[in-house]
Structure 1
Amino acid sequence: MRDTVYFLVFDGYADWEAALALCEIRRPGDWRIVTVGFSPRAVTSMGGLRVTPDQTLDRIDLSRAALLVLPGGHLWQRGEGAEAMDAAERVHAAGGTVAAVSSAVLALARHGLLARSRHTGNFTGFVGGYGVSYEGSEKYDPDALALSDGGFITASSLGSVEFAHEVIRTLDLYSGSDREHWYRLFKHAAPPPWYAGEKVVAV
């Protein structure tokens, strides 16, 4: 049963990029969110949040892994984090989805995981700007803030709403119409038709 979303934490991970997606995953109450790390020790996010991973990457249960989320962070630009790419390859091969934001897309490309999937990143020439030549580079779409294809979700650091929308769709959260109402609400502040506003109670 695929009921678990694994979220990678490490020193300097970009904590805001997947925050909206994680909130929506937890809202129905049907999904487990498990933080994973390169080691069991506590880490500090880019925003200063200190988190102790629930477990290490090597303990991901492939039979339960619906999604592995890889947030951005400077370690990817330094060419580090090979263990996470190995885990991503295992999750994807087992039928789970791998979701990468910002510089984590760079790591997937460097590892050869985006050869057959349309993908995006932070800007035109983002991956090539780090000297990475990879199979599938012609499938890079600089105009999209988030894309889903071939078991991968990729997103720009500026596309947190679009990223969350792709995660919601991939995990089949809410109905199709509710997903679109959700997107319009968070992207354009357009409330759904059934929303009447909060009542103000005089005190």
Structure 2
Amino acid sequence: MRNTVYFLVFEGFADWQAALALCEIRRPGDWQVRTVGFAAAPVTSMGGLRVQPDMTLDQLDAAGAAMLIVPGGHLWQRGDGAPAVAAIRRLHAAGAVIAGIDSGVLVLARAGLLDERRHTGNWPGQISAQVPAYTGAPHYDSEVLAISDGGVISASHLGSVEFAREVIQTLDLYSPSDREHWFGLFKHAQLPPWCVGEAMAA
């Protein structure tokens, strides 16, 4: 049963980029969220949060994985993190969704997941400049902040709300109308119908 969402943590990972997505994943109580690291030692996020990984990359359960979320961090811009490439390929081949945001998109490109899929990133040309083997430039969409295609979610560093929306939709959280209300609330501060009455009463 695919009921686990893995979140990759490493020294200097951008802790805020997937925060909304992770909160909504955990809210219904149907999904497990587990952190995975390159090693078992604790890591410190870009914002100074110390995180103890639940497991290492070689311990990932591909059969139970619904999704792997890859946040940004300077690690990817340095070209480091090769073990993540192999893990991403293994999980995606087993049917898990791979979701990358900011420079996390670079490791998706290194795994070859963006060559034939519509995707986005921080800006046109960044992926080509940092991933020589990447051939997906014709499929790059600079008009969106996040997009899902073929079991791969990609997002700009400016698109954390859009990234969360793609994750929510992919995992089929909430009804379609509730998803739109959620996006209106977090992106545009538009109160959903169920909050309007409470706000007026207050």
2:12 aligned with 1:35: no
2:188 aligned with 1:197: no
What is the match of residue 90 of structure 1?
A: 90
What is the match of residue 186 of structure 2?
A: 186
Following superposition of structure 1 onto structure 2, how do residues 1-203 of structure 1 map, counting pairs within 5 Å?
1-130=1-130, 132-195=132-195, 196-198=197-199, 200=202
Larger fraction in helix: 2
Q: Distance in 2 between matches of 1:131 and 1:36?
A: 24
Cα deviation for residue 131 of structure 1 reads 6.0
Cα deviation for residue 136 of structure 1 reads 1.6
Q: Which amino acid aligns with 1:71?
A: P
Cα deviation for residue 116 of structure 1 reads 1.3
Q: Which amino acid aligns with 2:182?
A: W
Cα deviation for residue 50 of structure 1 reads 0.3
Q: Distance in 1 between matches of 2:75 and 2:40?
A: 18
Q: Distance in 2 between matches of 1:17 and 1:76?
A: 15
Q: Distance in 2 between matches of 1:40 and 1:157?
A: 27
- SS of 1:177 mapped into structure 2: helix
**Contact 2:88/2:111, CA 8 A, preserved across alignment:** no
TM-score by length of 2: 0.95
- SS of 1:147 mapped into structure 2: strand
Q: Distance in 2 between matches of 1:176 and 1:140?
A: 26
Q: Distance in 2 between matches of 1:133 and 1:62?
A: 26
- Note the alpha carbon deviations across 1:37-64, whole angstroms, 9 max, x for none: 0000000000000001000011111111
- Superposed CA RMSD: 1.2
Q: Distance in 2 between matches of 1:131 and 1:169?
A: 29
**Contact 2:153/2:166, CA 8 A, preserved across alignment:** yes
- SS of 1:194 mapped into structure 2: helix
Q: Which amino acid aligns with 2:69?
A: V
- SS of 2:62 mapped into structure 1: coil
Cα deviation for residue 107 of structure 1 reads 1.9
**Contact 2:35/2:55, CA 8 A, preserved across alignment:** yes
Alignment gaps of 5+ in structure 1: none
Cα deviation for residue 190 of structure 1 reads 0.7
Identity %: 63
Cα deviation for residue 77 of structure 1 reads 0.7
- Note the alpha carbon deviations across 1:96-125, whole angstroms, 9 max, x for none: 100001111112213322111111001122
When structure 1 is superposed on structure 2, of 190-199 and 151-160 the one drifting more is 190-199
Q: Distance in 2 between matches of 1:132 and 1:77?
A: 13
Q: Which amino acid aligns with 2:93?
A: A
Q: Which amino acid aligns with 2:198?
A: G
**Contact 1:14/1:47, CA 8 A, preserved across alignment:** yes
Q: Distance in 1 between matches of 2:40 and 2:121?
A: 29
